[in-house]
Structure 1
Amino acid sequence: MKAYVFPGQGAQFTGMGKDLYDTYPAAKELFLKADEILGFEISKIMFEGTAEELKETKVTQPAIFIHSVVLAKMMGDDFAPDMVAGHSLGELSALTAAGALTFEDGLKIVSKRALAMQAACEHQASTMAAIIGMADEDVEKVCKDVEGVVVAANYNCPGQLVISGAIPAVEKACEILKEKGAKRALILPVGGAFHSPLMEPAREELAKAIESTEFNKPMCPIYQNVSTFAVENTDDIKTNLIYQLTAPVKWTQSIQEMIKDGATEFIEVGPGKALQGLIKKIDRSTTVSQGSVAE
C-alpha cells in the first residue's frame, strides 16, 4: 500500500516550486491564485527570497503548503494514495491533496495558522529543543519534573524527540537530559513553543477558522498527528486539527500505525527529504521516495 507524506516547517529552500511554475500552466495558475489570496507575492519570495525571508512564519508555512499541494495536483493520476499523513503543518497539505479541503480554503487556514502562531510566540518568550539519543519515556519524565512549562512536542523517530516550552524550563530540561546521558540537547532556532500549552491563544484563533470552513471526506484515510490512527470522518478531522497546535506531533506512532495497516511504500510530497530519513529510522524495511511529476 502507498502512503503519501507531507513535510512541515523547516523544509523550505530558495527556488522551491519554480520548476512547477515554469513547466505547468495549471501550476502557474495556482501560484498566482496563492499570491492573490495572501495579498503579497509569495511566489516571488519562494523563487528568489533569501533564507531569512523564507524563515518568516507568515511566509514559511504557506510556502511549504503551496509547494506540496501544487506538486500533488501536478502528479495527476500518479497521486493515488491508500493513506496520507503530514508532519505538523504538513497535515493541512495532506488534507488538501486528498480532497478534504479546496486549495483556497486550505491556504487560508494555513495563513491564519501561521499568523496566530506568530502572535502566540510574541505573547510569551518560548522555544524548542531537539533531544537526541534518549528514550522517549526518559525525556517525558524529565519534562514532567522540571518546574515551568516544558513538554514533549515532536516524536520524530526513535531517539529523536523535540521538547517545547518556556525558555527557562526548556534550558533546565536540556541541562538535566545531558547529565542523564542524552547525546545532544540542542536549542532550536525557532520563534516559539509550538505544540505546547503556550500555543493555546493560537489554538483558539485557529479553531474559529477551521469550524467555519467546509471539509469534505478525503479520498483516503489520514493519520493525524494528534490521534495517530486512520481518520476519515470530517468532524474528527477538524477536532484533531484544532488540538494539533497544543498537542504533540506523534510522527513515530503515526508511521508505525500506517505500517501496521499495510503501508509498504512512503512517498514524500513537497520540499526536502526530511520525512524519508525519519521513516527509515522508524522502520528500515520500508521503501521511501520523493514524489515527482511523470515526464
Structure 2
Amino acid sequence: MVGAACLFPGQGSQSVGMGRALAERYPEAKAVFAEADKVLGFALSTLCFEGPAEELTRTENTQPALLATSVAAFRVLEARGLKPAAAAGHSAGEYAAHVAAGSLTLAEGLSLIRRRGEAMAGAGKERPGTMAAVLGLNVAQIQDVLRRVDAPRDLAAANYNSPGQVVLSGTPDAVARASEEARRAGAKKVVPLQVSAAFHSPLMEAASRGLDEAIARAPIARARFPVYANVTAAPVSEPEMIRDTLRKQLLSPVLWEQTMRAMREAGIRQYVEVGNGRVLRGLVRGVDKEAVVFGSEDPESIEAAAVGIAETATR
C-alpha cells in the first residue's frame, strides 16, 4: 500500500503555545527549536511557546515559527518510523515540506522563510492589500468573477483550497468589487480575511524580487521523497525544479485542491497534518471524504498517528 503523505500548514495555523508540549516531551523537537533560536538570532521558541500573540502573528515571525513547529513534529514522527510517500505544504508550509524531504537544511529553510516573511511584510506596506474567502463557487465561476472585475494587476485567485472554497487577493478596492461580483454569481458566503497583505497576488511582486536572489543562491538537494509544488500541483524532486517552483510561488495561486486530487490519483489515502492546527485536515476531506487524516500538534496526536500509520502498513 502507498504510504502516508505529510501536509505542512501555512499562515493562519499559528497559535501561542504551539510546539511547546512537543519540545517538553521529545528531544527531537527540542533540538529543532534550539537550532531555530541559534540560526535566527532570537528566541523563536519563546515566541512560539509563550507569545505574545501580536508578535507571533507578524508575518516575518509567523512563517519561521510555523516551519520550526512543523519540522519539530516531523522529526518526532520520523523517529517513530514514519516514511512519507510524499509531501506538500500550503504556501509557507512548502518550505517546511522541503526541509522534511531534505531538499533544504533546517538552517537554510529557516533563513529563507524568515527572508520570505520579511519581504512579504515589506511588500504589504508598499502596496497594501487584503484577501477574502469565497464559498460556494466553482473554478469557472471564480474565473468569470475575475474577468468581470478586469483588474489583473490588482486582483488574483490566491488559493484554490477545496471544492467551493477559493481565496481572492488584491487591493482593497479590487477585492471589494470581486466580493460583490461573487455574491451576484451565487456565492454562499464571502468572508474577509484578517491578513497583513495580499499574498499570492501581483501585489507581491516586490517581495518575489526580494526573495528571488536568496532562492537562487540557496543550496538545494534532491528530495528524499516527492514534494507536490503549490504552483503546479505536481511532484518535484530535482533541485532545479524545486528552485523554479519556489521562485514562482509568491506570484502564483496555491493549487491545494488540485494537489489533493493528484495525491489521491497517485493512490495516497493517508495523510498527516504535520505541525500546528487542523486547517489542512478539513481541506483534505473536502476532496476525499474517505481519506484517513492524522494530526501531530501534541504528543497524543503524534502517538495516535504513529500507531495508526504502523497498523495500516502491516495490513
TM (norm. structure 1) is: 0.96
* Corresponding residue to 1:126 among 108, 122, 129: 129
Determine the C-alpha separation between the residues in 2 that align with 1:205 and 1:244.
13
The match for 1:56 is: 58
Determine the C-alpha separation between the residues in 2 that align with 1:289 and 1:32.
26
The match for 2:39 is: 37
The match for 2:268 is: 263
Alignment of 1:151-190 (within 5 A): 151-190=156-195
Secondary structure of 1:153 counterpart: strand
* Corresponding residue to 1:234 among 236, 239, 246: 239
Determine the C-alpha separation between the residues in 2 that align with 1:180 and 1:264.
34
Determine the C-alpha separation between the residues in 2 that align with 1:141 and 1:180.
9
Determine the C-alpha separation between the residues in 2 that align with 1:290 and 1:73.
14
The match for 2:105 is: 102
- CA displacement at 1:26 relative to structure 2: 3.7
> How many residues are treated as equivalent by the alignment?
295
State the superposition RMSD in angstroms.
1.3
- CA displacement at 1:271 relative to structure 2: 0.2
CA contact (8 A) 1:203 1:245 kept: yes
Q: Which runs of 4+ in 1 moved over 6 A?
A: none
Determine the C-alpha separation between the residues in 2 that align with 1:242 and 1:144.
26
Determine the C-alpha separation between the residues in 1 that align with 2:175 and 2:204.
15
The match for 2:313 is: none
* Residues 1:80 and 2:46 aligned together: no
Which residue identity is paired with 1:104? A
The match for 2:8 is: 6
Which residue identity is paired with 1:13? S
Determine the C-alpha separation between the residues in 2 that align with 1:216 and 1:181.
46
Determine the C-alpha separation between the residues in 1 that align with 2:85 and 2:31.
28
- CA displacement at 1:78 relative to structure 2: 2.3
Offset from partner CA, 1:204-242 (integer Å, 9 cap, x none): 111111111111111111111001112111101111011
The match for 1:274 is: 279
* Corresponding residue to 1:66 among 65, 68, 93: 68
Determine the C-alpha separation between the residues in 2 that align with 1:212 and 1:39.
21
- CA displacement at 1:52 relative to structure 2: 2.0
Determine the C-alpha separation between the residues in 2 that align with 1:209 and 1:192.
21
- CA displacement at 1:87 relative to structure 2: 0.5
Determine the C-alpha separation between the residues in 1 that align with 2:217 and 2:74.
25
Offset from partner CA, 1:96-136 (integer Å, 9 cap, x none): 01111111001000000000000110101111100011112
Which residue identity is paired with 1:15? G
* Corresponding residue to 2:211 among 206, 209, 215: 206
* Corresponding residue to 1:244 among 233, 246, 249: 249
| Unaligned runs of at least 5 residues, structure 1 | none
- CA displacement at 1:203 relative to structure 2: 0.9
- CA displacement at 1:180 relative to structure 2: 2.0
CA contact (8 A) 2:30 2:72 kept: no
Offset from partner CA, 1:170-191 (integer Å, 9 cap, x none): 0011012112211111211101
CA contact (8 A) 1:132 1:161 kept: yes
Offset from partner CA, 1:239-264 (integer Å, 9 cap, x none): 10111100000000011011111111
The match for 2:311 is: none
- CA displacement at 1:201 relative to structure 2: 1.0
